[in-house]
Amino acid sequence: MTTTHSTTKIVDALQAALPGRVDTDPALLDAFTTDRSGHRSPGAPLAVVNACTIEDVQAACRLASEFRVPVVSRGAGTGLAGGAIAGPGEIVLSLTGMDRILEVSPANRLAVVEPGILNGDLNRVLAGHGLWWAPDPASKDISTVGGNIAMNAGGLLCAKYGVTREAVLALKVVLADGRLITVGHRTVKGVTGFDVCALMIGSEGTLGIIVEATLKLQPLVSGGVATVGAFFDSVEDAAAAASAITAEGLVPSIMELMDGRTITAMERFAGDAVFGGAGAFLLVQCDGPAAQATASRAAALATAIGGRVETTTDPEESDRLVGLRRNAFPALEAMGTMLVEDMAVPRDRMADAFAAIRRIEQKYDVAIPSTCHAGDGNLHPSFVYTGDTVPENIWAAAGEMFRTALDFGGTLSGEHGIGLLKRAWLRDELGDDQYELQRGIKELFDPLGILNPGKVFVPED
């Protein structure tokens, strides 16, 4: 990598403005060339700024604007779409040092936090107040609230409790030129002007840097939970059971589906035949006063479709079953580098989507273990490979999968974002007119194009 005059100058300027906060150690910078997507940038970034305050972020953005150097904001680096990967000539703005809880207000059911706090850590504190923050990605113990907001993360519980957008009241955002704005409201409702808060949520660090968030909290759910584990011969049957549960008007807090390939990987990872060789597994958890009534109705529907069903109200047994789902990604990652897709389809097309995945497996000669947030039709077909680059047949299979999702009236990404991984297909989903409008918005927030360039949109040469 060649170091140009201006890139040396930006590092000097950052070190002068933010003494002790700027790191250029190559061994350390290597970590920022990847995330959990399996992607790797061509080389190390120039430096990392370890921001501790909003002023640090503002200073870094002001200098980046002055020197026209790209800034990649980053939380815990657990993203699955390559959104926080930095490469040569770029500055990483790390927010993990900004991890304080600034306020918890039970009377307003809100919390004000810095972006670097881990989702799981926040929820442990909130539990002491009888409250919780609903966004619940499988990565909650290792992902940051800021990263969850940047992706509009979903998770296991969002079919009932909503995605991140529904759980954020207001944000403080540092703009590309270093100015600070507040968007949204401390109140539950508010319609003053355009919803720029919603625009920021899911914008993947391309419109501004989230430096503080006012989160909408929920009361901890009272009453116990009831959990149903249903084992099926085929994933199509399991998907049909999930669709039947939704069609019945039941609203489980968790409804997760895993196919046979995932089950095999998990049994190998656990060293135990916990699924008894089933071809698919459907996990249904219900909470609140209706937990048992909802669970037994769901169990009956699953049985009717041929599921072998276990129902439990024992909290430990419930936790064990949910833990199995949370271990799906670690089990797959143990087999190699994992590329996780994230398509969502209308909820009555899940069985069709699984059939399409099987077809794509055969066509491209690749195994695609798949999990699914069945309450909202969000599938995570996964590819596992070895080596540093994604094999050609996997790219081709992924491309066909995206087109299939769109054909089903679905979307490329339910909750992981576009990042680098899916940007080539963005225009296909949005259409030319919307794509241009989105680019227009990007340009007005970031006229110099320094905020996470190359992410979400394919660079225009």
Decide if residue 412 touches another protein (CB under 8 A). Answer: yes
Q: Which one of residues 1, 270, 437, 458 is an interface residue with another protein (CB under 8 A)?
A: 437
Instruction: Name the 3-class secondary structure at 113.
Output: strand
List binders of another protein among 247-286 (CB under 8 A).
247, 249-251
Least distance to another protein, CB of residue 326, Å: 19
Site for another protein in 305-364 (CB under 8 A): 344-348
Among 124, 179, 359, 363, binds another protein (CB under 8 A): 179
Rg of the chain over Cα atoms, rounded to whole angstroms, equals: 22
118 binds another protein (CB under 8 A): no
Judged by CB under 8 A, the residue of 139, 294, 382, 404 near another protein is 294
Q: Work out how close the CB of 95 gets to another protein at its nearest, in angstroms, rounded to a whole number.
A: 20
Using CB under 8 A as the binding rule, whether residue 109 contacts another protein is answered as: yes
Closest approach of Cβ 28 to another protein, in Å? 30
Distance CA 48, CA 29 (A): 7
Interface segment toward another protein; rule CB under 8 A; list 54-62, 134-142, 194-202, 270-278: 194-202
Q: Which of 59, 61, 131, 305 binds another protein (CB under 8 A)?
A: 131
By beta-carbon proximity to another protein, the closer residue of 293 and 304 is 293
CA distance 93 to 22: 9
* Site for another protein contains 403 (CB under 8 A): no
368 Ramachandran zone, left/alpha/beta (phi>0; psi -120 to 50): beta
Q: Toward another protein, which CB reaches closer, 76 or 374?
A: 374
Sole window of 8-16, 26-34, 199-207, 360-368 interacting with another protein (rule: CB under 8 A): 199-207
Is 202 among the residues that bind another protein (CB under 8 A)?
Answer: yes
Q: Segment 230-249, which members bind another protein (CB under 8 A)?
A: 243, 246-247, 249
Closer CB to another protein, 393 or 438, in the complex: 438
Query: Which of 3, 6, 30, 106 touches another protein by CB under 8 A?
Result: 106
Query: Pick from 220, 273, 367, 458: which binds another protein (CB under 8 A)?
Result: 220
> Smallest distance from the beta carbon of 176 to another protein, in angstroms?
12
Name the residue nearer to another protein (CB basis): 219 or 276.
Answer: 219
| Shortest distance (Å) from residue 83 CB to another protein | 11
User: What is the nearest approach in angstroms of another protein to the Cβ of residue 63?
Assistant: 19
Q: Does 101 bind another protein (CB under 8 A)?
A: no
Q: Kindly report each contact of residues 435-441 with a partner whose C-beta sits within 8 Å and lies 24 or more positions away, as own/partner.
A: 441/199, 441/207
**Given 16, 127, 188, 367, the residue binding another protein (CB under 8 A):** 188
Q: Is 154 in the site for another protein (CB under 8 A)?
A: yes
Residue 75 sits in the site that holds another protein (CB under 8 A): no
User: Rounded to the nearest 10 degrees, what angle do helices 5-17 and 54-67 cross at?
Assistant: 160
SS3 string, the chain, reads CCCCHHHHHHHHHHHHHCCCCEECCHHHHHHHHECCCCCECCCCCCEEEECCCHHHHHHHHHHHHHHCCCEEEECCCCCCCCCCCCCCCCEEEECCCCCCEEEEECCCCEEEECCCCEHHHHHHHHHCCCEECCCECCCCCCCEHHHHHHHCCCECCHHHHCCHHHHEEEEEEECCCCCEEEEECCCCCCCCCCCHHHHHCCCCCCCCEEEEEEEECEECCCCCEEEEEEEECCHHHHHHHHHHHHHCCCCCCEEEEEEHHHHHHHHHHHCCCCCCCCCEEEEEEEECCCHHHHHHHHHHHHHHCCCEEEEECCHHHHHHHHHHHHCHHHHHHCCCEEEECECECCHHHHHHHHHHHHHHHHHHCCCCCEEEECCCCEEEEEEEECCCCCCHHHHHHHHHHHHHHHHCCCECECCCCCCCCCHHHHHHHHHHHHHHHHHHHHHHHCCCCCECCCCCCCCCC
Per rule CB under 8 A, count of chain residues that contact another protein: 93
Interacting positions 366-385 with another protein (CB under 8 A): 373, 375-378
Bridge-partner residues for 311, per DSSP? 228
Which residues between 37 and 66 bind another protein (CB under 8 A)? Answer: none
Q: CB 246 → another protein: shortest distance, Å?
A: 7
In angstroms, give the least distance from the CB of 434 to another protein: 6
Asked if 181 interacts with another protein (CB under 8 A), we say yes
Residue window 416-435: x/- pattern of binding to another protein, with contact defined by CB under 8 A: xxx---x---x--xxx-xxx
